[in-house]
Structure 1
Amino acid sequence: MIRPYILAETNWESLKEERFDLAILPWGATEAHNYHLPYGTDNIQAENIVASAAKLSWEKGKKVIVLPTIPYGVNTGQKDIYLDMNLNPSTQLAILKDLVTVLNRQGIYKLLLFNGHGGNNFKPLVRELGLMFPKMFISFCFFPQMFDKSNYFEEKGDHADEMETSLMLYLRPDLVLSKEKWGSGGERKFRIKAFSEGWVWAERQWSKVSADTGIGNPEFSTREKGERFFEDICIKMDALFCSLCDADLDDLYE
């Protein structure tokens, strides 16, 4: 069945008289996820979350349109991991500039970037785009930050960890290797403690901090945990989509 809120699936017959209030752009990455998860993990998660949340909003009468996912992200620290694909931030800005130009010209002034990859940092890009397109209201979110993950998962991590493995066991179990293939996701940290304290940052060289490309132990991952987390994310994203659709861009502040 055609989903009219998914641009890649809908058609000119439906769109020629349609008008949307909010465009949503999922943005992921193509990169190794431990031994057991597919390179497209971030894209699969982002696409499914956005599509499911948009369905909820559409059924409430909200005019949302989901743009095709950008499947490559910033992977500058993974240059020696085989076939980890990289887009530089400057390239991301060029892509966004072209896409925002289309939306702006056609009167869709609200854009949400749905980030599925921790290496993407949209804040400086959104700042720059805001100067280029003063009519546009551009925002972004990163779904792992939406909830306290300890309420869902036992192990901490940020890549191919218990959270991502559980989500993939729910969304695409056919793409998850059997448990004996799972790496431990052990992480080596900077010797300089300031980096671990969070007030100093440097890019990690991935092949030196992780033996299996994962960071976070996936051992306790289950489909049930992934389903619960996914459903809660979609409910919260639906509320955001609805709020953005209803927002008056001339009256955003209390």
Structure 2
Amino acid sequence: MPRPYVLAETNWKHLKEEQFELAVLPWAATEAHNYHLPYATDIIEGSAIAEESAKIAWEQGAKITVLPTIPFGVNTGQSDIYLDMNLNPSTQFAILKDIIEVLNRQGIHKFIILNSHGGNNWKSIVRELGLLFPKMFICVTHWPLIVDRTEYFDIVGDHADEMETSLILHLAPELVLSKKEWGNGKELKNKIKAFSEGWAWTERPWSKISEDTGVGNPHAATKEKGKKFFKAVCGKMSQLFVDLTEVDIENLYE
């Protein structure tokens, strides 16, 4: 059965009489994830979290639609990793502008980017789009930050780590290579202290900081951990969806 909160599965017979309060756009990336995870890792995670969260919210009466996931993200630091696909921020801005223009014209004035890739950076883009579309409420969420990962995983990493490996073992285990193929996800740190402390920033050239493209040891990952984490993330995300559909944007602050 088509899920009425997933745009790609709905049809005109249903939509011609429908009116949504909130549109959700999962935005991911296509890139290497250590040796053992698929290039679509961020796509699988973002799509599943968006759709499951929307299901929970829909069952509580939230009028919400999940748009098809954007599969490419900013991968400027991985230009020499074979077939890591890149969209420049200026391209992301152009895509978002066109999507928001459609929503704005059709009366859906609440919009959330469900970010599923650490290389995507939305603040400056959202600020500019907000000036172009003053009726639109535009916000961003980054699902890896929703819950405290230390409560679910032994070693918290950054990319293709225990958390992501556990999630894919839960969501798409057939796409994960056997454990003997997993790299250790060792990350080489910048020699300049300011960058490792986090108050100065420069882009990491991925092939120089990781041998296997992973950052964080995945070897303690299990599907059980992934299932538990997925449920916790979707629980909190769905509440955000409900809150956004119910709130009066003109009376948001107290």
TM-score (norm. length: structure 2): 0.99
**Aligned counterpart, 1:141:** 141
What is the identity, as a one-letter code, of the residue corresponding to 1:136?
Answer: M
Give the percent of matched residue pairs that are identical in Structure 1 and Structure 2. Answer: 64
Output one character per residue of 1:148-197: Cα deviation in whole Å (capped at 9) or x when no partner.
11111011211000000000000000000000000000000100010011
Deviations 1:37-65 (A, max 9, x none): 00000000000011001001111111000
Q: Could you tell me which residue of structure 2 aligns to residue 50 of structure 1?
A: 50
- Which residue of 2 is the match for residue 162 of structure 1? 162
Q: Which runs of 4+ in 1 moved over 4 A?
A: none
2:237 aligns with: 237
The aligned counterpart of 1:65 is 65
Secondary structure in 2 matching 1:191: coil
* C-alpha deviation, 1:249, in angstroms: 1.1
Distance 1:68 1:238 in 2: 18
Unaligned 5+ residue runs, structure 2? Answer: none
Map of 2:191 onto structure 1: 191
Unpaired stretches in structure 1, ≥5 consecutive residues: none
The corresponding residue for 2:25 is 25
Query: Aligned partners of 1:91 and 1:48: how far apart in 2?
Result: 25
Match of 1:74 in 2: 74
Matched, 1:214 2:214: yes
Q: How far apart, in 1, do the equivalents of 2:24 and 2:156 lie?
A: 29
Q: CA RMSD in A?
A: 0.5
Asked if residue 87 in structure 1 is aligned to residue 83 in structure 2, the reply is: no
**How far is the alpha carbon of 1:203 from its aligned partner?**
0.1
Q: Give the structure 1 partner of residue 9 of structure 2.
A: 9
Q: Secondary structure at the match of 1:250?
A: helix
Q: In the alignment, which residue of structure 1 is the partner of 2:175?
A: 175
One-letter identity of the residue aligned with 1:139: C
Shift of 1:205: 0.2
Question: Residues 53-87 of structure 1, C-alpha deviation per residue, up to 9 Å, x if partnerless?
Answer: 10011111110000000000000000000000000
Deviations 1:119-165 (A, max 9, x none): 00011111000000000000001011111111110112110000000
Q: Secondary structure at the match of 1:138?
A: strand
Q: Secondary structure at the residue paired with 2:9? A: coil
**In the alignment, residue 158 of structure 1 is paired with which amino acid?**
D
Question: What corresponds to 2:100 in structure 1?
Answer: 100
Work out the CA distance in 1 between the residues paired with 2:235 and 2:74: 28
State the alpha-carbon separation in 2 of the partners of residues 239 and 167 from structure 1: 21
- Please give the TM-score of this superposition, normalised by the length of structure 1: 0.99
Residue 121 of structure 1 is matched in structure 2 by 121
Cα distance in 2 for residues equivalent to 1:168 and 1:146: 18
- Provide the rounded CA distance (Å) in 2 between the counterparts of 1:6 and 1:242: 16
